[in-house]
């Protein structure tokens, strides 16, 4: 895993991890630079999704990741 995370970090590429062999059930890993660029760009987001994302970011920032 470290190899792939290092690749994402240095190349700023995107890593897609498929779960359950299903294209719609996947995780996306991006570099912090890419993430920050996305956050800086205003996007309309449904309130429930926005609150969920904010909670997740808060958990991550406080070391409560799983």
pLDDT digits (tens, 9 = 90+) for 6-59: 999 998 888 988 898 877 888 999 999 888 888 887 766 667 777 888 888 888
Asked whether residue 66 carries a pLDDT value surpassing 60, the answer given is: no
Sign of the Cα torsion 52, 39, 41, 10 reads negative
Task: Report the Cα–Cα distance between both ends of the chain, in Å, rounded.
Answer: 15
Its pTM surpasses 0.85: no
Sketch the domain layout of the chain as residue ranges: 1-30, 33-66
Q: Which residues pair with 22 in a beta bridge?
A: 19
Q: Of 3, 53, 60, 11, which Cα lies nearest the Cα of 33? A: 11
Q: Give residues with Cβ within 8 angstroms of 61, minimum separation 6.
A: none
H or E element that contains 22:
strand 22-29
């Amino acid at each position: 895993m470290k190899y792939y995370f290092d690749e994402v970090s240095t190349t700023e590429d995107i890593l897609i991890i498929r779960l359950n062999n299903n294209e719609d059930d996947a995780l996306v890993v991006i570099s912090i630079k890419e993430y920050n660029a996305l956050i800086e760009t205003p996007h309309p987001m449904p309130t429930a999704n926005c609150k969920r994302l904010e909670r997740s970011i808060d958990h991550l920032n406080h070391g409560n990741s799983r």
